[in-house]
Structure 1
C-alpha cells in the first residue's frame, strides 16, 4: 500500500479513537499536560506558538497560559497557501481571532509576525520515533523545514495517549518532532 494511503488509513483510525473520548476526558488531558508543563526550561521571552484546536484536538490553551505566566511570548499560526510555510503572529489569551482560509481561528493580520522558538503542534497520530501524521496538508513539515534553516526550533506534539500508533510511514520530507506530550507520558525523541 502506498505511504499516502497507509497514512490516510492510520489517520482515520487514530482520529476515531480521539473522537471517542468524552469532552471531560479531553479537558482533563489538556489540564494534565498544562500542569506538567514542558519537559525543558523555557527562557523568559521565548516565543511559543500554539494552535487554535479544531476537530477534537487537544486544547493547548491551558499550557500556553502557564507558559505565558512564566514569561513566554505566545503566537498562533496563520495559513498562507498550500505547500507554503505557516507564518506566526503574536497572540495573547483574550485577543480576538478571525476565521482563516481553512476554517481555523487565526490572529488578526495586523498582529506582529514573529518566529517561534518552540512550536506546539497538533497531530492525528504519532509513533515512538517522533513522527506524526497530521491532516495531509504538510503545513507543519514545510514550516519546520523552513524554520530550521533560520534557527533551532523545538517541535512539541500535543495529543492523547490513544493517538499513539506502532509506526508512522515517514517520507523523506517528514520532519520528526523533538517531543510528544500526552496525558499519560512525555516522549523525548532528541536522542534518537
Structure 2
C-alpha cells in the first residue's frame, strides 16, 4: 500500500467514528444543511443525490427542496462493485430495489440520465475540494466515466465537523466544487 493510501485508510477509520458521533449529536443537521442549499446553482437537473447509509448526512430534505423547486432528480445505481455508478431518474416515493452494494436504487425500468450536479456523501473534506469517500472509488470512477465534457457540479454533503485541514489525495481523486453542511455552503471553485 502506498503512503497516501495508508494515510487515507487511517483517516477513514477516525472519520467513521467522528461522523457517527456527529450524527448522534444532531438529528436536525440535514434539514439545516438543506436550508443553505444553492438550489439555483444546482439547476433544473437532473441532480443526483444518494440514499444515506449509516451515519451519512441524509440528503432527503435537500432532495425534497430540489423537487419542490422543479429539479429533475436521480439516484446512483451500482450494477456491480467494480463498474462505475450509473444514474437513473427518480422521484420521491418511487419504488427502489437494492443495487450491487445493497443500497436502494431506482428500478431498471427508469431511464438512465447524465446528471448536471451530484450530491456526494463523504467521510471528510477540506476547503480545497478534497473528498475522502468510503474507499471503493465508486464516485471517482463514475465522475471520470462521465468525461470532462459532461463533468457535473460536485456538491459534497457532510456535517461541518467532518472538515479536516488537508486531505491526502491521489491523482484519481475527484475534487468537489462546493461543500454543503448544516453550518452553510463552502465554495471551492
Please give the range of the TM-score, normalised by the shorter of the 2 chains: over 0.9
What is the TM-score normalised by the length of structure 1? 0.91
- Other structure's SS at 1:41 match: helix
- Other structure's SS at 2:107 match: coil
How far residue 149 of structure 1 moved from its aligned partner, in angstroms, is 3.2
Which residue is equivalent to 1:186?
185
Q: Distance in 2 between matches of 1:43 and 1:165?
A: 29
How far residue 96 of structure 1 moved from its aligned partner, in angstroms, is 1.4
Q: Distance in 2 between matches of 1:160 and 1:93?
A: 23
Bigger mean CA offset, 2-11 vs 142-151: 142-151
How far residue 148 of structure 1 moved from its aligned partner, in angstroms, is 3.3
Structure 2 matches for 1:111-130, cutoff 5 A? 111-130=110-129
Q: Distance in 2 between matches of 1:180 and 1:22?
A: 17
Q: Distance in 2 between matches of 1:145 and 1:39?
A: 24
- The answer as to whether partners of 1:161 and 1:183 remain within 8 angstroms in 2 is yes
Which residue is equivalent to 1:93?
92
Which residue is equivalent to 1:15?
16
Aligned residues: 188
Q: Distance in 1 between matches of 2:117 and 2:13?
A: 28
Which residue is equivalent to 1:168?
167
Gaps of 5+ in 2: none
How far residue 68 of structure 1 moved from its aligned partner, in angstroms, is 0.9
Q: 1:24 to 1:65 in 2, by over 3 A?
A: farther
- Other structure's SS at 2:186 match: strand
Q: 1:148 to 1:189 in 2, by over 3 A?
A: farther
Which residue is equivalent to 2:29?
29
Q: Distance in 1 between matches of 2:77 and 2:23?
A: 29
What is the TM-score normalised by the length of structure 2? 0.93
